[in-house]
Structure formats: C-alpha cells, structure tokens
Chains A and B, each alone.
Chain A
C-alpha cells in the first residue's frame, strides 16, 4: 500500500534521528538507479561498485546537508557525479571507457535472443557504450542522465547545477557528437 511506503524525505529524517534501517531502505531503494548510472559513466563493474558505494557513504556522512528543497534523488545524483568526477580526476583517464566486458559480468543480451540477433544486439551495445566512453565527461554525464536515466530538463538543470538554456545546448551537442560517432555504424545497419 502506498501509505506504507515512507517517502525519501521521511527516511532521511528517520536516518538523521539514528535509525540505521532507514538509511538502509534508502540504499535499497536507489541502489539500482545509482549503480546503473555510474556503470554507464565509468564503464566497468568494479569501479561502478566502488563509486556507487562511495556515493551512499558520502550521502550518509552529509545527510544533515540535505535540506529537502530538492528531491532526494537530485541530491543523491549530485553526490554521485562528484564521486565520479573525483574518480576521473584520480584516474586521469576521463576519456577512456573500457568496452571490455568484465569476467563474470552478466551478458547484456537476453538469452531469449537467437544467436544472430544476439550477436547484432551485443555488437550495437558494445559500439554505443564505446561511443559514450569517447565523449567529453560533461557530455557523457548529460547523455547518461537524460537518455539512460530519463531525467527531465529541469532535473538536469538542478542536478548539474546549470541554467536551462545550457542544459538544452549541452544535450544537443552531446547527442550530435554521439550521433557522429555512431553514424558509420548506422549506415551499415540499413
């Protein structure tokens, strides 16, 4: 029932009061959201795991800094982006995104696909990920947040702390660059 499910703000308040399970519920509620975004930003599962964990650890440490004016997810995504940017700075390889599938990582292609279709889809996934990994970091961020996570323009503006006009122009440039990188591949698919 909807009323049985506490809101993010309520869980935050309970976590602030020392209820450890409340923050655990927040983690479980948003872990897929955070992890998937981080994975598409950094491209490898171990790093995504580490940065997703770091995102929640930082969120817990700065829980008092959440004022409730924005959605919890917007605040959480800002922390996530800071973690990823710190990682990029540390690794000094912001433009590199591993396209190799990690050992033991789940196959992104459904087992229900036939072998030919499966290969085609896997190739497309690999190419798209590689193209995203070649984008500038700020373009990669906005592509992931908009086209993978589905944030609205307003949410993009709050999360990235950008004016609405900048969100539109940055998203346009990011998509155009991505399209240019994938255009040769699309030509072969017709």
Chain B
C-alpha cells in the first residue's frame, strides 16, 4: 500500500456519503481506476455500509404507546412517591432496630450510674424504686439470705405490704436453692457497693415479672418482642461468629434474651440482639474472657443452671443441657442463642454447627 493509497482510503467514508468536494472525489476515482487493491478495499467498504443499511427494521409489539402511557402513569403515582432509594429502604429498618437496642443500652447504663449511690447497689436494678419496695432492704436481705421482707417503714415507693412477701415467696418457689455466692455475700452495706450484684438479685423470675411491676424489663421485653415480630419481614439472619457460644432452649425466647442482655449490660458489656426468622434470638457480646466467665456465672445463676457452662431455659422445661464450646484466648465474641423450645433444633445439633468446627 503506497502513501497515496493510505491518503485516498481516508476519504472512503465521506466518498460513500457523497460528501467529498468535486476535486477530491475526482482524484479519488482516478486513483481507484489505477489501483486494484484500493478498488477491492472500496468494495469491502461499500458492502459493509450497504449491509448495515439493509438490516431489517425492527418494530415494537402492538400497544407500545399504551405501555408507555401506563409506565408514565405508574411512574407518576407509584414509585416516585417514595423518596427513599431502594437500597436504603432495606437498610433503614435494620438501622432503626440497631438504634433502638443501642438506645436502650445507653438508657440502662445511665440508670445504673444514677442508681449507684454510696451504700447502695452499684449494679443496675430493674425498676429501682418499686423493686426496693418489693424486696427486703439490702442489708437485711444479705444477712438473712434474702428470706425476710423489709418492714413497711423501710420501704420506698407505694407497694403494698403483701407484695414483697408474695414476690419473695414466688421467687423462692422458682429457685429452691439459693445461689451459694449470694449466701456468701453477707458483709453488709459496704460489700453491696461491689460492681457485681449478688447473683440472686440478678435473676428475674417469672413471679417477679407477673406480680411486681418491673417497668424497665417490661420495656425491654416489649422491644425484643416487637423486634422479633419485625425480623421475619426484614429477612433477619444470624451471623456466624467465632468465639464462645451457648445454646439455650426457652419457652419464652424474647423474655430470656432480654434477661441475658440485661445481665450483660449490668456487667459492662456491649452487644446486640439478632433475631432469626425461625424464632431464635442470638445475644452477641464482645467481652474479655474474665467478663465472659462472670456473665456465664450470672446467667447460670439467673436461669438456675447448676453447671456454669450450661444454661437451661426454665426449670420446668427440663431441656437437655447443651455443651459450651471452649474459648479461644484473647477477646471473646460470645454468642448466646435462645432457641424456642417448640421449634428449635436439638441442642446437640446446635453445638455441632457452631463455628464450623
């Protein structure tokens, strides 16, 4: 290909469109008459442009204008009403749930700090004023193994005299054997300023929830219940975390998740709840190993599980006790899965699936 060929071939496109000035067109045609290679090239150019132009036309199916009109109408009355992009519409409910849990945690921490006056329990109590009214004074309780209700004159709040006794009796029925740690903690008011409350006080037996007003716990229960109901719509799912895990069978998973969460918050842990579509609730906690042990002790006491590394739901449920996986060294991600008794899988299977190990 000569330089002339290269120069003239650059005119092919405009030549085919008949846009070349007369002098350039004549010069090109003269070159083509003497150059077989460029004639062949021009033939390929012409065939290409013609073939594209001869592609069969495509027309839309009948009713195209009507479909456009319907789409315009749908656009005007439907999706445009929502100003939240689709991706955010999926995320916002989860974010709202997260904020509710965080807000509740902050509220409980705040209440705990406000309650931590000298000589009183530092740890958070559910509904301080009314709880005190329904329970014996701390000194009496610790000294007497929490057997005697306080005298009315020592009470705060407006509870009746029958209330504390009834609540205490119910608590005794539900927890026949007092926790050894609670009995040992009999040092009086000074000892009661420890960060960790006596284990017996960390429990929220059903009798208390039914007879004694426990507004804070009830709020948490309501929130967890609402969240649990909402999660199937949100497609909630539990994360597969590493660390220590514990599976609990419970007849009231929402309530028990609230109990576990409150115990964790009392002990200074942060965490959140995850609600699986199958009804399981997983309490996810970040904690140092010593915190984990402390929490497990409290939880075991709270749920009246004799062994520290197992956790039953309720005494009457008599569920088999699942094993707890051993911890890895360092900071621990603790998961406590509360599985509904009526629909949960066997504890053995739960444990076998844990951590993929």
Chain A residues with a Cβ under 8 A of chain B? 20, 24, 27-28, 31-32, 35-36, 39-40, 45, 48-49, 52-53, 56-57, 60-61, 106, 108-109, 124-125, 128-129, 132, 143, 147-148, 150, 153, 168, 171-172, 175-176, 178-179, 182-183, 186, 189
Contact = CB atoms under 8 A, between A and B. Distances in A.
A182 B64 contact: no
Contacts of B72: 56-57, 60
B114 interface: no
Contact of B52 (A106, A132, A183): A132
Contacts, number: 98
Nearest to B75: A57
A40 B61 contact: no
B56 interface: yes
Name the prevailing secondary structure of the A interface residues: helix
A129 B43 CA distance: 19
B184 interface: no
A32 B52 CA distance: 17
Contacts of B71: 53, 57
A182 B68 contact: no
Interface in B40-72: 43-45, 47-49, 51-53, 55-61, 64-65, 67-69, 71-72
Given A32-B60, A36-B57, A143-B52, A175 B65 contact: no
Contacts of A35: 58-60, 64
Contacts of B58: 35-36, 39-40, 45, 48, 106, 108
Nearest to A35: B60
Interface in B1-42: 10, 12-14, 17, 19
Contact of A148 (B10, B53, B65, B67): B53
Interface residues of B, number: 30
A13 B186 CA distance: 90
A175 B47 CA distance: 11
A49 B55 contact: no
B61 A28 contact: no
A125 B13 CA distance: 21
A35 to B, nearest CB: 4
A53 B67 contact: yes
Contacts of A124: 51
9 contacts: A32-B59, A40-B55, A48-B58, A49-B61, A56-B72, A147-B52, A172-B10, A175-B49, A182-B51
Nearest to B66: A24
Contact of B47 (A36, A108, A125, A186): A186
Contacts of A129: 55
Contacts of B12: 172, 175
A90 B49 CA distance: 30
Nearest to B80: A61
Among A24, A45, A172, A179, residue most surrounded by chain B Cβ atoms (within 10 Å) = A179
Contacts of A31: 59-60, 64-65, 68
A128 B54 CA distance: 10
Given A31-B60, A52-B60, A128 B65 contact: no
A153 B64 contact: no
A24 B65 contact: yes
Nearest to A109: B56
B55 A27 contact: no
Nearest to B16: A175
A8 B43 CA distance: 40
A127 B78 CA distance: 42
Contacts of B51: 124, 128, 182
A169 B331 CA distance: 65
Contact of A24 (B10, B43, B69): B69
Given A24-B69, A60-B72, A148-B53, A168 B13 contact: yes
